[in-house]
Amino acid sequence: MGSQSIHQCQCWECQEGNATTRSHHEQLNLLMSRLNEQQRRWMAALEAKRLGHGGTQRLSEITGLDINTIRRGRRELDAGLANRPVERIRVTGGGRKRVEKN
């Protein structure tokens, strides 16, 4: 889900045409499309936590994020973001390795 695309909600309420719910989910997905990867994870985790039981699955349907990504966000929030860098998106050493030229 890159910043150039906005996920279309796949929850049952939006599929049935609930205009209020669809509008809320469209706004949530618009906001999510503007966040970086860790912010998306934390936002989805916070919303899932607010919804309670079944919230992780529901947010996965709404946002298109993988369930494990949302669970990871919940773990990070529960830990108070203790091991997350403030000035970086990824921890040191994270992401793709550099391609070395011979």
Question: pLDDT tens, 55-99?
Answer: 999 999 999 999 999 999 999 999 998 877 667 666 566 667 778
Given a contact cutoff of 8 angstroms between Cβ atoms, the answer to whether 75 and 41 are in contact is no
**Among 10-19, 24-33, 48-57, 91-100, which is the least confidently predicted range?**
91-100
Reduced to 3 states (helix: H, G, I; strand: E, B; else coil), residue 38 is: helix
Cβ neighbours, 10 Å, residue 10: 13
Please report which helix (H) or strand (E) contains residue 74, including its range: helix 67-78
Determine the Cα–Cα distance for residues 50 and 29; give it in Å rounded to an integer. 17
pLDDT band per the 50, 70, 90 thresholds, residue 3: very low
Query: How far from each other are the two terminal CA atoms of the chain, in whole angstroms?
Result: 34
Average pLDDT on 38-62 reads 95
